[in-house]
Structures are given as C-alpha cells and as structure tokens.
Chains A and B, each alone.
Chain A
C-alpha cells in the first residue's frame, strides 16, 4: 500500500465517522425535541445527538488536517483535482436523490400527523450523511497498483 492509498484510506474512515456523527447529531436532536416522542426515547436521543455532534466536529477537523497533509505532499487535492471534482459530483448527486426521496417521504408522513420539525432534522441528517458515504464509495474505486 503506497502513500496515496494510506492517506486516502484514513480520509475515508474519517468521512464515515463524519457521516455517523452528523446523522446522530441531527436525528437525535430531532427526536429529543419532538413533542411526539416519549421521554424514554427523547432523553437518550439528546445524549446521542451530543455525542454525534462531538464525533462529527472532531472527525471533520481530523479530515481537513489529513486533506491539508495530502495536498502539501502532492498526494491528493480534495478541492482542485479532477478526480476529487468527479467524486464530489457523484456524491452530490447521491445526496440530492436521498434528499428528494426523504422530502417526499416526509411530506407524506406529515399528512399522517408526524412532527415536521423532527422529520426535517432526520432528512438533513440523511442527506448530508449520504453525501459522505457516497464520497467514500466512489473514492474507494481508485484503489489499484501504483
């Protein structure tokens, strides 16, 4: 495994951590502050939301530290490289579809009386996390002999 694959692997794990952290933060917050959710679920959801926010923040900072190191060493440039632009575009496309499906599902669910605020938070979590996970999926396709 060469330097490009090592740093790419680390960045992908940090993106997975960001996906988990961001989803837990948003979905937990949505559940914790909904009147429709019992305290039995709302209290742990508050804690999960807090843990998620901390995980997302730490993994995001670590990700950008790795990205800076990769750019400095000429291994990978997450902003300007053609490959990075390609992966980002595919990931954004996935997030867009996840958001569309989530919004349609949520609008249907609100017709049956579910809390729109809670569903909005969960949708945001799903859309952003799907971007991170799709980025990991597409980026992992680069693996190969150097």
Chain B
C-alpha cells in the first residue's frame, strides 16, 4: 500500500497572487473550509478542484501540487 500524500504550495502562491482564502474559495466556487483543508494538507482535492485552484493561482497544476513520498 502506498504512503504517498499530496503536497502543495497553495499558501505561498496564494500570498504571491495577493489572494485571501476567501478570494480563492470564491474563484473556484467552494467554501473557505475546503480551501483551508486542502491548504493544510488534510484533504486531497478532486482532480477537477486541483486544476481549478491551479488555474485561479495562474500556475501549472504540478507547481501547486505534487506527490509526497
């Protein structure tokens, strides 16, 4: 069984883009709680949500998310 988890740079990239969690949540049509859980590494988002977040941050998805082993 794999122990791989999803790493992310959402907080740094969100800061660079000048977005709050609420701004990002509104941009990808989810609530702040979902953004909070993804950002803190608690929740692995769906591929669709990951792509939407990357798009909202203006970065390729592999810059925002990666596999942590």
Contacts and interface: CB of A to CB of B under 8 A. Distances in A.
A binds B: yes
Interface of A: 3-4, 8, 70-71, 74-77, 81-84, 86, 141-142, 144-146
Interface of B: 21-22, 25-26, 30-34, 36-37, 39-40, 42-43, 45-46, 49
Contacts, number: 56
* Contact residues of A: prevailing secondary structure: helix
A4 B42 contact: no
13 contacts: A3-B32, A71-B31, A74-B26, A75-B33, A81-B30, A82-B45, A83-B30, A83-B31, A141-B42, A142-B33, A142-B36, A142-B37, A144-B42
The interface residues of chain B, by DSSP majority, are classed as helix
A141 B43 CA distance: 9
Contact of A83 (B22, B26, B37): B37
A76 B33 contact: yes
Contacts of A77: 30-31
B49 A76 contact: no
Contacts of B49: 82
Most A CB contacts (10 A, CB to CB) among B21, B26, B31, B49 go to B31
Nearest to B25: A74
B53 to A, nearest CB: 11
Nearest to B48: A82
Contacts of A75: 31-33
B40 A144 contact: yes
Given A74-B32, A75-B31, A82 B43 contact: yes
B22 to A, nearest CB: 6
